[in-house]
Amino acid sequence: MNTVHTNRLTFNIRISGSTDGVPLLLLHGSHATSRWWEPFFAILPDSIYAIAPDLRGCGQSTLSQDGYEIEDQAEDVAELVQALCLSDFDLVGHGSGGAIAIEYALRYGRRLRSLILVDSVPIEGAFTPLQGLQLLSQMRDDRTMLQQALSTLFPSAPPPTMSETEFEGFFEQLVDDAAAMAPAAFTAVAEALGRWNRVEEAHRLTLPTLLLLGTEDVIVERDAATRSLLAIPGASNLEILRGIGHSPMIESPVVLAERIIDFITEDFESFEEARGYAHESAGSSDEVE
């Protein structure tokens, strides 16, 4: 683990690969940390320079009581990117981290090479009813409930890269991480997603975009992922991961790595004409730099 200090918060990050490799920034989802990317990191080639931060309120990063709006967290990421001197990098967002990645891409898209959304919150956000928020709040003090909730996110685990015993230990670490989150983070991200909607701005997402969805995902519905696909001009396909749930980086890291590596090593010249036309039509001045 490494510590990066910014004006907004202190990040702890996990790093894999050579610093002169292809830069890949990975954002975890709700009730998670950068640890979720460990099985994925374990099989990445050294030529991929992968960086996974603990987002605000999670892991060893700043455990604040506020700042969980999606827009605020995108600015957190922007400061981290600046501190790491990243440019022309590929950005991956999982679950609620997908919303943060989308928001970052809308604000700072010219700093990105591509956008990859893994079982992501759809472009219109996600509404959690009051009963759901109450359950999230209860999980703060009920480890059994927290274990049950997390276990639904990776139904096909353990991955081929882990034994049953190894996965049991890893799973308990994930539960420990979730239990140690900032109290506000248990519900604040879900509430923020209910206020976040980028359908109207989606036409500006012209950079190459890859969407992936597990067939056994109990969180993100295929219809919602399809709406994101149709709304994002840079997205050419929704890749379906058969027999995998909400968390392919844990359930099937080899499959996820293959999909992502294939995508980020493609020649994106075919996108350039469409990107240029979209920027001319929408007006590139509306993109924050």
- Could you list the residue range(s) of the whole structural domain that residue 215 is in? 2-286
pLDDT tens-digit series, residues 235-262: 988 999 999 999 999 999 999 999 999 9
Quote the CA–CA distance of 250 and 238 in Å, as a whole number.
20
Quote the CA–CA distance of 217 and 144 in Å, as a whole number.
21
Q: How confident is the model at residue 71, as a pLDDT? A: 98
Please determine, for residue 58, whether its predicted confidence score (pLDDT) is greater than 60.
Answer: yes
3-state SS of the chain is CEEEECCCCEEEEEEECCCCCEEEEEECCCCCCHHHHHHHHCCCCCCEEEEEECCCCCCCCCCCCCCCCHHHHHHHHHHHHHHHCCCCEEEEEECHHHHHHHHHHHHHHHHEEEEEEECCCCCCCCCCCHHHHHHHHHCCCCHHHHHHHHHCCCCCCCCCCCCHHHHHHHHHHHHHHHHCCCCCHHHHHHHHHHHCCCCCCHHHCCCCEEEEEECCCCCCCHHHHHHHHHHCCCEEEEEEECCCCCCHHHHCHHHHHHHHHHHHCCCCHHHHHHHHHHHHHHCHHHCCC
Structure pTM? 0.92
What's the burial of 85, exposed, middle or buried (CB within 10 Å: 0-12/13-18/19+)? Answer: exposed
Percent of the chain with pLDDT over 90: 89
Please determine, for residue 67, whether its predicted confidence score (pLDDT) is greater than 90.
Answer: yes
CATH number at residue 145: 3.40.50.1820
- Classify the phi-psi angles of 76: left when phi > 0, otherwise alpha if psi is within -120 to 50, otherwise beta: alpha
pLDDT tens-digit series, residues 191-242: 999 999 999 999 999 999 999 999 999 999 999 999 999 999 999 889 999 9
Domain count along the chain: 1
